[in-house]
A and B are shown apart, each in its own frame.
Chain A
């Protein structure tokens, strides 16, 4: 290719010689520029006289300026600048150089985000940014969407998720699970009010701005990234073996009358009237007397032993393989640029038939229509499918008797009492002390269902360069989400099958219009401003249908009409919400030393009461770049010192539509065998409802020494959320239970700390490390009108939580378990109507009664004190190595024992039950064995025995990559070829029980108390192999 005299091409490299993708080359003082491709190559048109200055910049490197002179092919090596002072950060309705920003903004490059194979953005973000907590939901469930908290939990009943802005589309639907991380160019996290106030009523939880990769000038470039991962179990749940179970059974029955009245029908010993061991040849085999460790004597006087010893965990969880592939083409010329990308993710869980599959596509185009007019479009489409019936299966691994088979063989001997069970699935009712629990494989077969998401997001943006300093931008964007949830519960013994299909469609549109003004006045004054207005609207429609009584499992959820329920379920709802906003921002800097930002946004929302439709959200930020001062010029060791401070108010409006209204709802009422429609009062009006407001102060320090080889960033923040959108619980004597009112206050305060160091920098070897540390202290300052605590999940078998003034959100609440009443404490136990061998709880008010709320107390918190990430990356010649360690300190987890430890002999059980009290083993936390379903009482409360210190250290990621040198791969038509091996979750140290210290079981996922494990889905250790190639 011959170059015209006005064209320059070149290559931009990092100090170690690797090409820099996405670096920007701009002709200084103009908007003309280009970005580099995967090979680091660019081409740019310059005036014929070539009297221009090129500004070359790239995230993480110091900006370099040069005069090309007569060169047409330039190789430029950029120096690393970890502080990234010249980096451009996205700040909402514009960009700014990092050094000019007064707010707290963190940028994560695509390279950092993708340093391990990830399925979703949440995983990619975990551990990367101080102040950001990524909370796993459903633990290892494939495709589960994590929760993200920026600087703590602000709100009790409103949403606490940050606002996601993807390529200018504000509040895009479910970006965490549907966005293909390979498409991301950069991600900016806006944390303090100076940064987020431009998003006004939606900014209180922080903002994450995502910029995706777009086309660029030059020949088309094809990138392919692919990986395959092996997932294996990391930890196990120890359940009772058959021997342990039969020991428990015999002990429990012997104690039965001590704790109630033994139901003789559940007693299989010769003393009981239940089916004897000798009458259950399907489960027990005759053995020589004395040959089995537990004397199981049948009614015939002979000895028996269980036939099976089934480990349900090993049958349902097994290693799985996941793959991820993405393909992208980007190219164009100065006037028209394009990009296309496709992605396919196939994530398979450790559980059988548990998966997440996602197809993504993205198209972008950018046109320079005329000298003053640019048009950009983007269109993305996503389809995903996720299994949704995985929730109660892990519990069955612990609760189903180990003495059962998966399926009984079909010979004539398969009898339980008079019942022939040959060919049937084993279920808990076969050993008839238990409840109707189905074994995991049976349940897996009979429970099918999927969540589907289809999403189309598109935008059309016009930019007019009105003058050199003034541009006007207008966009029209849509985000269409279609959700469908199918579910079928099959004909498990005795059931008739039930199916449901629920759909939801959301149609969001926005129109944003704003001016950007940038002006340098003289050499000292720099002014930039934004002024704009916007409209947006969300319309939703939900439809649901269900039916039951199917003649066969054949139909699944695919033909609801085939069911024969008396009244099949139907439901639908629709509605909308709208926002109308006016916003503006002024940035002013003096001599690049003193920086000021003022931001304001006026938001009007349909969601609020007729008396409070509009709210105003202001912020102000200042920064002082001390290192620019003359008196600092001699302090050569100090390369950067900046002090920042900001204040602002932002809002939260994430409640449903129409909550301010008073409704009269309909119910179906049966009278005389016919269903009629009845009306009833369902809610109380609140026309004064308004924004939840968060007021935030932030003080920051940025500090670099030794030519930025050591960089430190430190922030302290204090947030007070007031006028919360609280679902104030109301007396049920006078109301339907609650009303959303502006009540209550929550405070968050904390430190964020980021230390970047370049420890070794030589030609062949480099080592850089980053430590991020986050500390957040949350406190409920005020609640509803009575100030009464708000309790949740107070029943046994839960992780009870409480919102209490003075205590943080996420507080677990329960009794203190002191142990078990000993034989010396017989009279003390009798005070509570109990006996030695019964659980002993702290009677806080010493009134002789044990009551959860009266005697309970805060037992721990589901949010950690400290989050620490320690990330290292090394390069040695063509090798690259990364090691990420994650440390979480000061967090509790509720591991709910109730269903498998307190309730002995209601189900299979955990083998921790074997620590049960005996007269010769009194110092324990487990009550004496008793037949829970055989007529004995048991005590089960949310209590300290189920609380664990869930602090942990995790080997989050380790990767070793090798980039085959250019010359070798060029022969194959490649410009880049990297292979890597990586492992995630490769070690874990914690005191917590269960599969993983993070996450919750699917049915115990609560945004305010995220750490409750009642048999959660296991988290795998992952081993991956992948390639990154460019053609």
Chain B
């Protein structure tokens, strides 16, 4: 009767299966990409998508639809249970980490592969694992460190470890392996898969981030419980320490390797799948295919609420730059012109008006870079990829790194400082900067203008501990994060706002996981 009761699953591979063929190896590697597409996923309510959640805490983005509970950000009431904002981000990125851990444990057994193919596969998967962790560590601070396949359920509860360890022991070694050791191709990716240039772009961003906060402050006393106790206080950027300078130099190396490898296209390219999907200035993207796996939900977030311009559903209006942000653009900025980086009006969708006549005038400009017109006007899914890194971002990092190095006493040419930012400004038809015009405010302003709604500002605020103050024609000032009160917010930023709350579900089921300073829900006994 033992045989009668034996279970032999037919539809799913069990973990004791021995993977060895090249196609199985390819599938293991492919699996590690699956969480990238979740980056634009929903967060627990109508019109609430994860990229919105990453913008709201900056104070520069708002919503005209009430579902995403933006008032909680305005009143400092967010918690680990605010909709699924913090649960889903946590879960999605850690899912990516686990997928990578599985692939890393099996790649060595793929006997069909040559050593070079295995090395490339390791480089590919380790780059992705580093990227998932990089997303997590900037959002939440200290993290549970998970680098192998879980052997037993008894080990499922793990405490958070210092964010410095996450950088030093996972993110940086993984990316340095990919860049320095792996046999990855050192060229742009034409198909969305990791190449060495992608590893370099992420690594450059990691180095730049480690040259700033909170890494540099934590490094002053790594044993302290920075995130749980809310000890953050240090200001001043660039940080003047040997470690920060070393990271800046390493970032410079990678950015130099990227410089010239891509070209800037037009602003219209940004929302045209054939011009931006794994081509043009795109470096690294979440990959979509309309009708199979698309980001249409997030596309709806950037459209004016219930404006009748979208063929296949509602327009959410949940990811809108504030009026103060838009007023801070130079009026001469090409990006501000209609149908460059913003759009000011549109036509009705066919379902409302078969002639697609002009829709009601919008009360303000809306960001145009996610406007996949084929999807918006014809319905169905969008093919547009979501961009994590594009060349303009690299150019602005290059300027920042070179400017910072000069601030820290390293000899850098004027051209090295300005060549990045001016390439970006030239496309916007703005006058070139001289090296003497470059300062943190001009760099951060340009990043804000160019990378609007690309989920960069929150990381910029956190790593520099500086915030832009709304102005007219330009940002009025750049001021310390501590004490900065965004327009419409009822409170000024303090140390707690440098982190986001840990997922409510993780706190509930992982007794070893403590909550960040001042956030709810707290761990029992915390």
Interface centre among A573, A790, A834, A849, by most chain B C-beta atoms within 10 angstroms, is A849
Residue of B nearest to A855 (CB): B520
Compute how far the CA of A852 lies from the CA of B288 in the bound complex, rounded to whole angstroms. 35
Q: Which chain A residues (661-684) contact chain B, with CB distance < 8 Å? A: 661-682, 684
**Is B263 in contact with chain A by the CB < 8 A criterion?**
no
In the complex, which residues of chain B have a beta carbon less than 8 angstroms from the beta carbon of A853? Answer: 81, 504, 520-521
In the complex, which residues of chain B have a beta carbon less than 8 angstroms from the beta carbon of A826? Answer: none
Q: Which chain B residues (27-49) contact chain A, with CB distance < 8 Å? A: 27-34, 37, 44-46
Q: Closest CB of chain B to A785's CB: distance in Å? A: 8
B65 near A664: Cβ-Cβ < 8 Å? no
Partner of B503, one of A417, A661, A732: A732
Q: Mark A640-676, 1 if CB is under 8 A from B, else 0.
A: 0000000000000000011011111111111111111
In the complex, which residues of chain A have a beta carbon less than 8 angstroms from the beta carbon of B352? Answer: 419, 429, 493
Q: Mark A843-860, 1 if CB is under 8 A from B, else 0.
A: 000010111111000000
Q: Closest CB of chain A to B18's CB: distance in Å? A: 11
Interface of A, secondary structure class, is loop
In the complex, which residues of chain B have a beta carbon less than 8 angstroms from the beta carbon of A607? Answer: 7
Segment among B179-187, B303-311, B466-474 that sits at the interface with chain A: B303-311
Compute how far the CA of A417 lies from the CA of B358 in the bound complex, rounded to whole angstroms. 11
A833 near B490: Cβ-Cβ < 8 Å? yes
B1 near A580: Cβ-Cβ < 8 Å? yes
In the complex, which residues of chain B have a beta carbon less than 8 angstroms from the beta carbon of A606? Answer: 4-7
**Is B84 in contact with chain A by the CB < 8 A criterion?**
yes
In the complex, which residues of chain A have a beta carbon less than 8 angstroms from the beta carbon of B349? Answer: 494
Q: Mark A785-799, 1 if CB is under 8 A from B, else 0.
A: 110111100111000
Once A681-B99, A731-B144 are accepted as A-B contacts, the answer to whether A669 and B31 lie under 8 Å apart by CB is: yes
A435 near B190: Cβ-Cβ < 8 Å? no
Interface centre among B87, B143, B157, B348, by most chain A C-beta atoms within 10 angstroms, is B157
Interface centre among A434, A660, A670, by most chain B C-beta atoms within 10 angstroms, is A670
Compute how far the CA of A124 lies from the CA of B278 in the bound complex, rounded to whole angstroms. 64
B293 near A670: Cβ-Cβ < 8 Å? yes
A673 near B277: Cβ-Cβ < 8 Å? yes
Once A734-B158, A851-B520, A903-B66 are accepted as A-B contacts, the answer to whether A432 and B27 lie under 8 Å apart by CB is: no
Q: Which chain A residues (809-849) contact chain B, with CB distance < 8 Å? A: 830, 832-834, 847, 849
Segment among B9-17, B216-224, B238-246, B336-344 that sits at the interface with chain A: B9-17
A668 near B521: Cβ-Cβ < 8 Å? no
Q: Closest CB of chain A to B163's CB: distance in Å? A: 14
**Is A761 in contact with chain B by the CB < 8 A criterion?**
no
Q: Which chain A residues (928-977) contact chain B, with CB distance < 8 Å? A: 932-938
**Is B477 in contact with chain A by the CB < 8 A criterion?**
no
**Is B492 in contact with chain A by the CB < 8 A criterion?**
no
**Is B353 in contact with chain A by the CB < 8 A criterion?**
yes
Segment among B89-97, B387-395, B428-436 that sits at the interface with chain A: B89-97
Residue of B nearest to A568 (CB): B291
Once A732-B94, A786-B157 are accepted as A-B contacts, the answer to whether A849 and B360 lie under 8 Å apart by CB is: no
B513 near A671: Cβ-Cβ < 8 Å? no
A434 near B306: Cβ-Cβ < 8 Å? yes
Q: Closest CB of chain A to B129's CB: distance in Å? A: 13
**Is A578 in contact with chain B by the CB < 8 A criterion?**
yes
Segment among B148-156, B196-204, B416-424, B453-461 that sits at the interface with chain A: B148-156
**Is A637 in contact with chain B by the CB < 8 A criterion?**
no
**Is A521 in contact with chain B by the CB < 8 A criterion?**
no
**Is A686 in contact with chain B by the CB < 8 A criterion?**
yes
B5 near A605: Cβ-Cβ < 8 Å? yes
Question: Contact residue range for chain A?
Answer: 35 or more
Partner of A851, one of B5, B81, B191: B81
B81 near A933: Cβ-Cβ < 8 Å? no
In the complex, which residues of chain A have a beta carbon less than 8 angstroms from the beta carbon of B491? Answer: 833
A433 near B505: Cβ-Cβ < 8 Å? no
Q: Closest CB of chain B to A900's CB: distance in Å? A: 14
Partner of B505, one of A661, A662, A667, A729: A729
A733 near B506: Cβ-Cβ < 8 Å? yes
Residue of B nearest to A904 (CB): B66
Segment among B71-79, B225-233, B398-406, B440-448 that sits at the interface with chain A: B71-79
B4 near A672: Cβ-Cβ < 8 Å? no
Q: Closest CB of chain A to B218's CB: distance in Å? A: 20
A786 near B509: Cβ-Cβ < 8 Å? yes
Compute how far the CA of A130 lies from the CA of B168 in the bound complex, rounded to whole angstroms. 66
Residue of B nearest to A830 (CB): B490
Q: Mark B292-332, 1 if CB is under 8 A from A, else 0.
A: 11000000000011111011111001000000000000000
Q: Closest CB of chain A to B354's CB: distance in Å? A: 9
Partner of B306, one of A429, A730, A785, A852: A429
A732 near B34: Cβ-Cβ < 8 Å? no
Once A266-B306, A565-B291, A833-B71 are accepted as A-B contacts, the answer to whether A667 and B34 lie under 8 Å apart by CB is: yes
**Is B409 in contact with chain A by the CB < 8 A criterion?**
no
A265 near B362: Cβ-Cβ < 8 Å? yes
Compute how far the CA of A834 lies from the CA of B66 in the bound complex, rounded to whole angstroms. 15
B79 near A566: Cβ-Cβ < 8 Å? no
Residue of A nearest to B87 (CB): A732
A850 near B304: Cβ-Cβ < 8 Å? no
Compute how far the CA of A264 lies from the CA of B323 in the bound complex, rounded to whole angstroms. 14
Q: Closest CB of chain A to B310's CB: distance in Å? A: 8
**Is B280 in contact with chain A by the CB < 8 A criterion?**
no
**Is B146 in contact with chain A by the CB < 8 A criterion?**
yes
A671 near B33: Cβ-Cβ < 8 Å? yes
Q: Closest CB of chain B to A29's CB: distance in Å? A: 40
In the complex, which residues of chain B have a beta carbon less than 8 angstroms from the beta carbon of A565? Answer: 291
**Is B508 in contact with chain A by the CB < 8 A criterion?**
yes
Compute how far the CA of A537 lies from the CA of B503 in the bound complex, rounded to whole angstroms. 43
Partner of B290, one of A566, A794, A847: A566
Compute how far the CA of A790 lies from the CA of B504 in the bound complex, rounded to whole angstroms. 11
**Is A807 in contact with chain B by the CB < 8 A criterion?**
no
A735 near B156: Cβ-Cβ < 8 Å? yes
A679 near B292: Cβ-Cβ < 8 Å? no
In the complex, which residues of chain A have a beta carbon less than 8 angstroms from the beta carbon of B505? Answer: 729, 732
Q: Mark B257-287, 1 if CB is under 8 A from A, else 0.
A: 0000000000000000000011000000001
Partner of B30, one of A676, A681, A731, A832: A676
Q: Which chain B residues (54-84) contact chain A, with CB distance < 8 Å? A: 62, 64-66, 69-71, 74-77, 79, 81, 83-84
Compute how far the CA of A937 lies from the CA of B64 in the bound complex, rounded to whole angstroms. 9
Compute how far the CA of A17 lies from the CA of B98 in the bound complex, rounded to whole angstroms. 76
**Is A906 in contact with chain B by the CB < 8 A criterion?**
yes
Q: Closest CB of chain A to B295's CB: distance in Å? A: 11
Partner of A580, one of B5, B87, B292: B5
Q: Closest CB of chain A to B505's CB: distance in Å? A: 6
Q: Closest CB of chain A to B155's CB: distance in Å? A: 7
Partner of B12, one of A664, A685, A731: A664
**Is B510 in contact with chain A by the CB < 8 A criterion?**
yes
B153 near A741: Cβ-Cβ < 8 Å? yes
Residue of B nearest to A741 (CB): B153
**Is B484 in contact with chain A by the CB < 8 A criterion?**
no
Residue of A nearest to B501 (CB): A851
Compute how far the CA of A883 lies from the CA of B231 in the bound complex, rounded to whole angstroms. 72
Q: Can you show 20 pairs from A to B with CB atoms below 8 A apart?
A: A418-B353, A494-B311, A494-B350, A604-B5, A658-B9, A661-B7, A664-B102, A667-B31, A678-B27, A679-B28, A681-B98, A731-B158, A733-B144, A733-B510, A733-B513, A832-B75, A853-B521, A933-B305, A933-B306, A935-B305
B residues contacting A by CB (< 8 A) are 1-2, 4-7, 9-17, 24, 26-34, 37, 44-46, 62, 64-66, 69-71, 74-77, 79, 81, 83-84, 87, 90-91, 94-95, 98-99, 102-103, 143-144, 146, 149-150, 153, 155-158, 190-193, 277-278, 287-293, 304-308, 310-314, 317, 348-353, 357-358, 360-363, 379-381, 383, 490-491, 503-506, 508-511, 513, 520-522, 524
- For the complex of A and B, 10 pairs with smallest distance between CB atoms: A833-B75, A678-B31, A672-B191, A566-B291, A678-B30, A937-B71, A731-B510, A733-B144, A662-B15, A494-B351
Contacts A496-B312, A496-B379 given; 10 further ones with Cβ under 8 A?
A493-B352, A495-B312, A604-B5, A658-B12, A660-B7, A669-B293, A670-B289, A676-B27, A679-B102, A681-B99
